[in-house]
Amino acid sequence: MHKGPSGTEITPHSFLKYIRKQGYGRGKVASMALELSRQKMRTQALDRFKFVRTCVLARELCLLVRTNRVTFNKEDVQECCSFISKLCREAGCEEPSGICAKAAEAVAESEEAYLNFCDQSCQKCGESRRPSRPRPPERTVYVA
C-alpha cells in the first residue's frame, strides 16, 4: 500500500471514500477514469501517427530508392535521399539522418560510396531494429 502525506496508508477503499467526501459521486469518478483512459489512448495514437509519418515512411522510401536505383537518375536519388534524411531528422534519428545526407551527396561521385553510406544508414536506423507486431497465425482449413 502507499503512504499519504500524513503517513497514513492509502488503500483503494480509503481513496474512494475521500473522493466521495469531496463531493464527487460515482458517475464523476467513473468519467474522470474514462477521461484519463481516453487521454492515454490519444497520446499513444498520436505517437504512433508520428512514428508512421516519419520512421515507417522513411524506411519504405529508402527501400523503394534502393531497389529501383537503376531506373533513377542521380538527381532523383539525391533528391529522394535528402527528403529521407529530413524525415529521419524529424523523427530524432540524427546519426542515420547525417549518414543518409552523406549518401545523397556521394551519389554524384561514386555509386560504391553511395551504397556504403546507405548500408551504414540502414544499420543505424531504429526502425530496422524495432520488433514488428506479432501477426496472428494463419488459419488452416481442415478438410476431412
How confident is the prediction for the chain on average, in pLDDT? 80
Statement: residue 144 has pLDDT above 60: no
Domain ranges for the chain: 2-37, 48-125
Instruction: Supply the pLDDT for residue 81.
Output: 92
Residue 106: CB partners within 8 Å, gap ≥ 6?
Answer: 113, 114, 117
Instruction: Supply the pLDDT for residue 36.
Output: 74
Statement: residue 80 has pLDDT above 90: yes
C-alpha cell at 66: 534502393
Choice between 5 and 89, residue whose per-residue pLDDT is larger? 89
C-alpha cell at 21: 467526501
**Measured between alpha carbons, how far is 56 from 64 in angstroms, rounded to an integer?**
12
C-alpha cell at 121: 544508414
**Measured between alpha carbons, how far is 84 from 33 in angstroms, rounded to an integer?**
41
Q: Is 84 in contact with 107 (CB distance < 8 Å)?
A: no
Half-sphere exposure of 71 (CA within 13 A, CB side): 5
